[in-house]
Structure 1
Amino acid sequence: MAVDGPPDHGAIDGRTTLTHDHQPTRGEPRVALVTCADLPDLEPDDRLLRAALAARGVHVDTVIWDAPDVDWAGYDLVVIRSTWDYAVRRDEFVAWAHTVPRLANPADVVAWNTDKRYLDALSAAGVPTVPTTWVAPGETGQLPERGEYVVKPAVSAGSLDSGRYDLGDPGHRQLAADHLTRLGTAGRVAMVQPYLHGVDTAGETALLFAGGPTGPVFSHAIRKGAMLAGPDLPSEELFRTERIDPRTATGEQLAVAERTLAAVPGGAERLLYARVDLIPGPDGTPVLVELELTEPSLFLGPAEGAADRFADAVVSRLRATA
């Protein structure tokens, strides 16, 4: 017998839903929500998605991405969520992604999106992006003479290994140079970007999209406050704490987000989720800071109905691949 639940949240294409003891029954759709060893039960936001999927009769397992002997082919859909330890093991993570059938988002998107040099491709496609200078290992980066700039690695998660420097200050300038050296010594490509002061006043706007039959559909927006207060300092944290508030997206922001998604290689219609992060540029118009297609926080908690919308996107994908 199926568990009582909300209307239309029962069987998918006639498949059986959960039994009363919450054990999966034969034919029930199976989804893996993928996380890392530091978050074995997901982060709180993703637990909302797990609950919404269970209410729709989907059996959900929480699986650590690098756990041994996982039968990934046994899942109808594998959804990357809190894999926030990938940054220092990107090659291994991308190789893993290519072994997983029915992965969301797809492995080639993961490979493209986990290196922020994708910003160059988006800029070439006409997306307004933060101007970026890249410094490869072994290169001597030429820092601007003055102004506030951000130094961070091209492969990173959660704003870790990122710092803000006033290059007109000799002390900060040396710290920025040391930061570049530290990243290069570790074999990491560095990126140098002007610090956009609009983040201190308007904040950063993240626009969240859930997959639809013809492409991602806008779900909700949130505001993130400024996170970089100064130079990069050693930290044991997996990610930095953010202040999150609901926000109403403007037409201009939505237009930039849609232009960004339209430039994703292979087509945006393959995406189960997307997050577009924007900051006001010097003239106040929105510019892209990051396009998150791999393991972004979806900020389901602050937005009413967001967990249901993303769960519905998963169910739609299950039906399409059944």
Structure 2
Amino acid sequence: MTDHHQSTRGKPRVALVTCSELPELDPDDRLVRGPLSARGIAAEPAVWDDPAVDWTAYDLAVLRSPWDYSSRRDDFVAWAARVPRLANPADVVRWNTDKRYLDELSVAGVPTVPTGWVLPGERWQPPADRGEYVIKPAVSAGSRDTGRYDLADPEHRRLASAHVGRLGATGRVTMVQPYLRAVDTAGETALLYLAGPDGLAFSHAIRKGPMLTGPDEGVEGLYKLEEIAPRTADGAQLAVAERALAAVPGGPDRLLYARVDVIPGPDGTPVLVELELTEPSLFIGYAEGAPDRLAEAIRAHLARDRPSGHAHAAAVAPDA
């Protein structure tokens, strides 16, 4: 890894922000380093909570895989506020790292998965309809502490109540959502957006296969393995995504990237599951040209709103 104080001979410096468990980045994120280098931009991984990192030495810090933040969200949000130039911005990080933003999007008219919330100390009564439900913390990453429960099964009802209690005992807010069975057949669609010359623009889409098979039994590492394949997004999915992005506080034009996850609802029309603006996998390895589109988005962010007197940022090279 490049020394954080090493001269880059005038090249703009970009930190690709990660965590200590992935010090050399997720393999998908590594794909952008070559396109960035071809554009005269020096990019290197930097661990978000490493005290040796001088964030002022970078022209831009791009959040990529700081996936261990969920157990220390307050620290992470405070860190984000201290980084001079961060993508996506620190106020978006604060808003987006607590999934209660789904309520705001629903009020704004975005079709979302119906979600209930259980605050720490509240007593939770399992829904009477005895369908399948997903239980997870409002602050989470990588399907940690997430389970699927069939409430027609008395043992599942017991385990679901225990799951809610376990989250509440550690001071976490619990979210409870009906399990949308279409994910077992159609899967989940992730729509990826990257900044372009006219603002945030659709780049590509992928299909994620079903991940939840039963009650939460704990998970090793940062995330559960996903079944990923390229997908062509349809007009209805794109319409939901654009409505969700339009409702982002401060507007979508400040964003470097966004991922909008949708699933067919009970009537077959897409509903929002999550709007990922903080550290989503961008799956740039699944779409031709996506690494270059991400590099272009980063270059555009470097060029705009350039702090006066910041020598590195002036060196953004044209396409190689």
TM-score, length of structure 2 as denominator length? 0.92
Worse overlay, 140-149 or 179-188: 140-149
Q: Secondary structure at the match of 2:74?
A: helix
Q: Which residue of 2 aligns with 1:184?
A: 168
Give distance in 2, aligned partners of 1:113 and 1:25.
33
CA contact (8 A) 2:118 2:124 kept: yes
Q: Secondary structure at the match of 1:321?
A: coil
Q: Which residue of 1 aligns with 2:35?
A: 52
Give distance in 2, aligned partners of 1:156 and 1:273.
19
Q: Which residue of 2 aligns with 1:264?
A: 248
Is 2:137 aligned against 1:153? Answer: yes
Give distance in 2, aligned partners of 1:91 and 1:237.
21
Structure 1 alignment gaps of length 5 or more: 1-22
AA of the residue aligned to 2:240: V
Give distance in 2, aligned partners of 1:243 and 1:160.
17
Q: Which residue of 1 aligns with 2:147?
A: 163
More relative contact order, 1 or 2 (CA 8 Å, 6+ apart): 2
Return the offset for 1:70. 1.9
Q: 1:134 aligns with which of 117, 120, 145?
A: 117
Deviations 1:96-144 (A, max 9, x none): 0000011000000000000000000000000000000000000011211
Is 2:285 aligned against 1:276? Answer: no
Give distance in 1, aligned partners of 2:146 and 2:8.
47
CA contact (8 A) 2:196 2:296 kept: no
Which structure 2 residues correspond to residues 172-251 of structure 1 after superposition, within 5 A? 172-251=156-235
Give distance in 2, aligned partners of 1:234 and 1:158.
12
Give distance in 2, aligned partners of 1:286 and 1:235.
29
Give distance in 2, aligned partners of 1:235 and 1:27.
44
Q: Secondary structure at the match of 1:207?
A: strand
Q: 1:306 aligns with which of 290, 299, 304?
A: 290
Q: Which residue of 2 aligns with 1:317?
A: 301
Give distance in 1, aligned partners of 2:199 and 2:102.
21
Q: Secondary structure at the match of 2:286?
A: coil
Which structure 2 residues correspond to residues 96-111 of structure 1 after superposition, within 5 A? 96-111=79-94
CA contact (8 A) 1:211 1:313 kept: yes
CA contact (8 A) 1:148 1:167 kept: yes
AA of the residue aligned to 2:76: F
Return the offset for 1:69. 3.1
Worse overlay, 213-222 or 91-100: 213-222
Q: Which residue of 1 aligns with 2:51?
A: 68
Return the offset for 1:213. 4.1
Return the offset for 1:61. 1.9
TM-score, length of structure 1 as denominator length? 0.91
CA contact (8 A) 2:144 2:218 kept: no
CA spacing shift, 1:25–1:165, aligned 2, 3 Å: closer
Percent identity over the alignment is 70
Give distance in 1, aligned partners of 2:249 and 2:199.
13
Return the offset for 1:215. 2.6
Q: Which residue of 2 aligns with 1:89?
A: 72
Give distance in 1, aligned partners of 2:106 and 2:198.
24
**Matched length:** 300
Give distance in 2, aligned partners of 1:90 and 1:274.
20
Is 2:281 aligned against 1:293? Answer: no
CA contact (8 A) 1:158 1:239 kept: yes
CA RMSD of aligned residues (A): 1.0
Deviations 1:126-175 (A, max 9, x none): 00000000000000112112000000000000111000001011000000
Give distance in 2, aligned partners of 1:207 and 1:242.
16
